[in-house]
Amino acid sequence: MEEEKLFEAPAQPAVNDHQLTQPPTHPSLQIPGIAVSDTDGNADERGRTTTTATDTTTPNGNLSAHPSRAPSPNPSAQYPHTQVTYEDPDFTRPPPLNYSLRPRKKSIFWFWMLIFLDCVCMPIGLYFGMWYGLTRDQLSANAVFSISTALLGTVSIVEYFIRFRRLWRKNSNCRVIGAQRHYLDWFHWNLSVGWFFVMIELIAGTCPHDPPIRVLAIPASTMLFAIGVELLLVDALRLMGYRAPCRISSLPVGAPLRPGIYAYIEDICAVDGSGGTEFRQRLNLRYQASKAFREMLHRLTLFWAIGAIICSAVTVAIVFTIQRDAAYIVGWVLPFLWAGVWTAITIPWVQRSLTHEYNQWTTAKWKA
pLDDT in tens, 289-301: 899 999 999 999 9
d(CA 158, CA 87): 41
State how far the alpha carbon of 281 is from the alpha carbons of 47, 66, 121, 172, 243, in Å: 23, 22, 38, 15, 20
Whether 264 is covered by a domain: the verdict is yes
Rounded to 10 deg, the angle between the 324-359 and 219-239 helix axes is 30
pLDDT in tens, 307-352: 999 999 999 999 999 999 999 999 999 999 999 999 999 999 999 9
Whether 356 is covered by a domain: the verdict is yes
State residue 366's pLDDT score: 58
Higher pLDDT, 28 or 358: 358
What sign for the dihedral angle of Cα 114, 117, 123, 127? negative
**Which domain covers residue 328, as residue numbers?**
107-360
State residue 223's pLDDT score: 93
Q: What percent of the chain has pLDDT over 70?
A: 73
Residue 16 phi, psi (nearest 5): -105, 105
What mean pLDDT is reported for the chain?
79
Whether 226 is covered by a domain: the verdict is yes
Whether 23 is covered by a domain: the verdict is no
d(CA 110, CA 153): 16
pLDDT in tens, 171-196: 888 999 988 888 999 999 999 998 88
State residue 208's pLDDT score: 85
Q: How far is CA 243 from the centre of its chain?
A: 20
State residue 365's pLDDT score: 62
Residue 353 phi, psi (nearest 5): -65, -40
Number of domains composing the chain? 1
pLDDT in tens, 3-56: 444 554 444 444 444 443 344 444 444 545 544 434 333 434 333 433 333 444
Whether the predicted pLDDT of 239 surpasses 70: yes
State residue 135's pLDDT score: 60
pLDDT in tens, 241-284: 999 999 999 999 999 999 999 999 999 999 999 899 999 999 99
